[in-house]
Amino acid sequence: MFRNHKFSHKDSIIVATQPESVYAESFRKIPINIKYSRVDDEPRVIQITSSLSGEHKSTSAANIAAVYRELGHKVILVDCDLRKPSIHRITGLVNTDGLTDYLVGNTDYANLIKQTRFEIDVINAGNPVPFPHVALRSEKFKNLIAKLRESYEYVIVDSPPLLLVTDSLIIGEICDTAVFVINQRTTKKNAAKEAIRLLRESNIPIAGIVLSNTAKRIRRVSKYYSYKYKYTSKK
């Protein structure tokens, strides 16, 4: 009969599901640091990216959105990883009526935005399209982000890895800042350096770095730093 299978990414908004945990506390520092990365003009459209896949950027994006929601802000999480979407799984949705469907005209704005049990509004990636970078370069996508900017206080944009596809650089052009995620156990130093170089060359300001999946010895030093956020540089 039925087996119990745990689908990947399920229940990974730790800020909402385990609000008292050390991990949740680490995420709560991130909006503060983003705010102070540019005091006069606080970034409101925030891109989350990384060098390669499997660095927990979607989990970070969802948790950052959850922290903004916890602070009482109106926030939307947009899945722009059109090639390997996962935000819908993190938020318990099905990937229908998403961004690609909107961009190709198969759904409208009213159906695009989904409410979740985490009280975060979400835009799914939608059905796969042959050339995601073309969809992301469209005026319709730019207009959508502009519309979201008017309707929400914060727009968190989950985007694909920088070293695999150009999508993130295209998305970066219309975001206010980028948060770069590094998996402490798997990300190679050269990969991280190369990805940050790409962001800088494209004039995408980096608000900071989230260090995910930190080693136990770091966590032993201070239990409050299992997810560590560090200010690095800005444009």
Partner 1 sequence: MMNAPMTDIHTHILPFVDDGSDSIADSLRMVGEAMANGVKNIILTPHALRTGMPKFTKEDHCRHFSEFQTEARKHFDVNLYLGQEIAYHPQIIKYLQDNKLLTLNDSSYILLELPFFDPIEDYEELFYSFSVLKYNVIIAHIERYYYLSYGDIVSLKRYPVLYQINSNSLTGESGRYLRKRSMKMLKDGLVDFIGSDIHVSRKNDFHLAYQMVARYLSVADADRIFVENPKRHLNVA
As measured in angstroms, the least distance from the Cβ of 94 to partner 1 is: 5
Burial track 127-140 (b if 16+ CB lie within 10 A, e otherwise): bebeebbebbbeee
Distance CA 155, CA 178 (A): 12
As measured in angstroms, the least distance from the Cβ of 54 to partner 1 is: 15
Comparing CB distances to partner 1, the nearer of 85 and 172 is: 85
Is 3 an interacting residue with respect to partner 1 (CB under 8 A)? yes
User: Using CB under 8 A, which residues numbered 44 to 83 contact partner 1?
Assistant: none
Distance CA 220, CA 222 (A): 5
Is 220 an interacting residue with respect to partner 1 (CB under 8 A)? no
Comparing CB distances to partner 1, the nearer of 57 and 89 is: 89
User: Going residue by residue from 86 to 105, which x/- string records binding to partner 1, judged by CB under 8 A?
Assistant: ---x--xxxxxx--------
User: Using CB under 8 A, which residues numbered 8 to 37 contact partner 1?
Assistant: 8
Q: How many residues bind partner 1 (CB under 8 A)?
A: 15
| Binding segment (CB under 8 A) for partner 1, from list 3-11, 49-57, 113-121, 149-157 | 3-11
As measured in angstroms, the least distance from the Cβ of 140 to partner 1 is: 21
As measured in angstroms, the least distance from the Cβ of 192 to partner 1 is: 28
Q: 36, 48 in Cβ contact below 8 A?
A: no
Is 110 an interacting residue with respect to partner 1 (CB under 8 A)? no
Alpha helices in 5-80 (DSSP H): 14-17, 22-37, 57-70
As measured in angstroms, the least distance from the Cβ of 92 to partner 1 is: 6
Name the residue among 42, 14, 43 with its Cα closest to residue 212.
14
Is 4 an interacting residue with respect to partner 1 (CB under 8 A)? yes
Is 127 an interacting residue with respect to partner 1 (CB under 8 A)? yes
As measured in angstroms, the least distance from the Cβ of 74 to partner 1 is: 25
Task: Give the CA-trace dihedral at 137, 139, 140, 141, to 10 degrees.
Answer: 40
Contacts for 93 with CB less than 8 Å, ≥ 6 apart: 114, 116, 122, 124
Cβ neighbour number for residue 193 with a 10 Å cutoff:
11
**Main-chain dihedrals φ then ψ at residue 27, nearest 5 degrees:** -65, -30
Tokens of 178: 């980028």
Among 5, 189, 217, 220, which residue interacts with partner 1 (rule: CB under 8 A)? Answer: 5
Comparing CB distances to partner 1, the nearer of 132 and 205 is: 132
Q: 109, 102 in Cβ contact below 8 A?
A: yes
Identify the DSSP state of 53: S
Chain positions contacting partner 1, by CB under 8 A: 1-5, 7-8, 89, 92-97, 127
